Amino acid sequence: MQSMTPREDVVRNLLSQPSNLSKMNTPSKIQMKPGNMLNPTPVVMVSCGETPDEYNIITVAWTGTLCSDPPMCYISVRPERHSYPILKERKQFVINLVNEQLAAVTDWCGVRSGKKYNKFLETNLTPVRGSVVKAPMIYESPVNLECEVTEIVPLGTHDMFIAKVVAVHADPRYMDKKTGALDLKRANLVAYSHGQYYTLGKILGKFGFSVEKKKK
């Protein structure tokens, strides 16, 4: 790869004399309390429950993909949350991706509890049936991932629910009419970073762009 800076000698020197590395630490970076500074994160609405009186929606940013094949993901949830015993008993949930239009309702589902509110009724989000799990999918979400819990791992404030993705549903509006492929660029998904909801901004490149040969 082409050098980004004319600093090759500096890096070479650091690598050849590792004792030099520590000299660069203190002045260059400020050490903070260990914390959750991994940003940005996804932000999704997780729907759960087997029957309408049990249905709930919980907003989650501690979520991610764990494995490509089989497709697996996780959500981390505090035991105090209304959804926690539902998730633990039913071992199923749906991850509903969030677009710009859903940002406010997603935030609302994150700050209000299912103990007090029937969230589908309050938000008028539409529950629809998935193909595998009994938990409802949110119709308004651009993409729904039906998930089955394989393991629950207590970690501290949060338990991690490890799950298999058993079905995926997408809004046909985001399908390319020619290829039939899902084009998520059109979905206006929302990211979460350090307490703020963001739209996705400009595209910097696609995977592999740094080694792509330019077309003549």
- Residues within window 71-110 making contact with its own copies, judged by CB under 8 A: 71-74, 76, 95, 97, 100, 103-105, 107-108, 110
The single residue among 67, 79, 85, 176 that binds its own copies, judged by CB under 8 A, is: 67
CB nearer to its own copies: give 51 or 179. 51
**Cα gap 167→128, rounded to integer Å:** 14
Burial degree of 166 (CB within 10 A; 0-12, 13-18, 19+): middle
Does residue number 152 form part of the binding site for its own copies (CB under 8 A)? no
Whether the upstream peptide bond of residue 142 has omega within 30° of 0, thus cis, is no
- Closest approach, Cβ 214 to its own copies, in A, equals 14
CB nearer to its own copies: give 172 or 215. 172
Amino acid at 193: S
- Closest approach, Cβ 85 to its own copies, in A, equals 19
- Closest approach, Cβ 99 to its own copies, in A, equals 10
Does residue number 184 form part of the binding site for its own copies (CB under 8 A)? yes
Locate 9 and state its tokens. 């000698």
Q: What is the largest CA-CA distance in the chain?
A: 66
- Closest approach, Cβ 114 to its own copies, in A, equals 13
In terms of Cα–Cα distance, which of 158, 161, 123 is closest to 145? Answer: 161
Q: x/- contact string, 123-142, with its own copies (CB under 8 A)?
A: xxxxxxxxx----xx-x---
In terms of Cα–Cα distance, which of 183, 187, 39 is closest to 100? Answer: 187
Does residue number 15 form part of the binding site for its own copies (CB under 8 A)? yes
CB nearer to its own copies: give 179 or 210. 210
Does residue number 61 form part of the binding site for its own copies (CB under 8 A)? yes
Q: Positive or negative CA dihedral for 149, 154, 158, 160?
A: negative
